[in-house]
Amino acid sequence: MIPRYSRPEMVAIWSPETKYRIWFEIEAHACDAMADLGVIPRENAEAVWKAKDVTFDVARIDEIEAVTKHDVIAFLTHLSEHIGSDQARFVHQGMTSSDVLDTTTNVQLVRAADILLADMDRVLAALKTRAFEHKDTVRIGRSHGIHAEPTTMGLTFARFYAEMDRGRARLVNARAEIATGAISGAVGTFANIDPRVEEHVCKQLGLTPEPISTQVIPRDRHAMFFATLGVIASSMENIATEVRHMQRTEVLEAEEFFSPGQKGSSAMPHKRNPVLSENLTGLARLVRMSVTPALENVTLWHERDISHSSVERAIGPDTTVTLDFALNRLAGLIEKLVIYPDNMLANMNKFRGLVMSQRVLLALTQAGVSREDSYKLVQRNAMKVWEKGADFKTELLADPEVTAALSPAEIEEKFDIGYHTKHVDTIFVRVFGES
């Protein structure tokens, strides 16, 4: 991913230096286990660890690979340059390249997941703070983009919190599912390496041995991991889209923080655009772009092919780096989002009480009017608000068929906003638990 949408900690996970360091640890831990089992001499295993403080020369490895056309062999050759060819002769004993490559990929994905979980904690904390801040801030709820009935800004934040919390739970599960390693040799039969070597290496790396692998770790695990990131990205876009709507000039119920000196347009000095939300929408598309290739990687020929390899070299770093950046941008957006409660009330009252139509409808049915006739009466008066700018309550009070069923006081009571917010506390307990 380009530096513009990258954060150093996540980028570092995917650097060649980090990759080669993990490769080294896998090989060194495997040598320890084989020495414990008496397969190789202890002094050879100890000699490998002499390279533990070595900074592996990426350029040199690339130079060797240009000849060998094999990245793992190039690394092993470079390692032997540091510890001596005789001491290195038992390195990679009974192993195959995928043992190193797949186990490393999973270590990297686990580390990436840990960063993403921390990112999501920041997003969740921001959403929770804003939810309680605006628990009772009334705004109009919309369906199909049209005014529906009153809700609160706190409920909007709480809804996004619950969605992101589900995403976090999915990521915890995806992390657990991807945290496997395989040191099982060619076609995964352990013919040339003891399963106890795999157990030792995985324990040292914080992984669980893959119950059964071929020459590769099954890619359904990776498919679920990237699918989870895709769902999180969609939830992120869901929030961003709401902000984009709220910042529209005709709405202006909230807007992204506009810092001193910031400029919204090269041509129009008055502009304050929802650039962060729009950026998040685009980044969500990039994250989701990895999902289909990850699903297609599940299908491999027989015990191994490398059709998945080129895909994962791209989507591993690109997807995690992008989502890491995006989640932090989202958290900052939420933390600094400017809310306009007065505009929310003004928008809700724009159509002069029209949003209370369901309460009147239900009251008429409870007063003995058929639902069909009740709907007709309410809609008849509602259309005058839409078409003529009339006041809904005034029209109802002037309609003899309505007042025949409901008294003026009963009609008046149906316009109490508090009726719509009476269960906000109940919903908050469901989402956030008892305070």
Active site residues: 144, 265
- Give first-to-last CA distance, the chain, whole Å: 41
Helix axes 195-205, 97-133, angle to 10 degrees: 30
Q: Is 371 exposed, middle or buried (CB count within 10 Å of its CB: 0-12, 13-18, 19+)?
A: exposed
The span from the CA of 220 to the CA of 225, in Å, is 9
Residue pair 197/37 in contact (Cβ under 8 Å)? The answer is: yes
Q: Facing residues of 139 across strands?
A: 151
Cα–Cα–Cα angle for 215, 177, 173, rounded to 5 degrees: 170
User: Residue 378's CB: how many other CB atoms inside 10 A?
Assistant: 24
The span from the CA of 280 to the CA of 274, in Å, is 10
Q: What's the Cα-to-Cα distance from 364 to each of 80, 370, 393, 407, 421, rounded to whole Å?
A: 87, 8, 14, 11, 22
Phi then psi for 138, rounded to 5 degrees? -75, 135
Non-local CB neighbours of 189 within 8 Å, separated by 6+ positions: none
Structure tokens at 228: 């989870």
Residue pair 417/147 in contact (Cβ under 8 Å)? The answer is: no
Phi then psi for 207, rounded to 5 degrees? -115, 170
Phi then psi for 268, rounded to 5 degrees? -120, 100
Provide the H-helix boundaries in 14-53. Answer: 16-36, 42-48
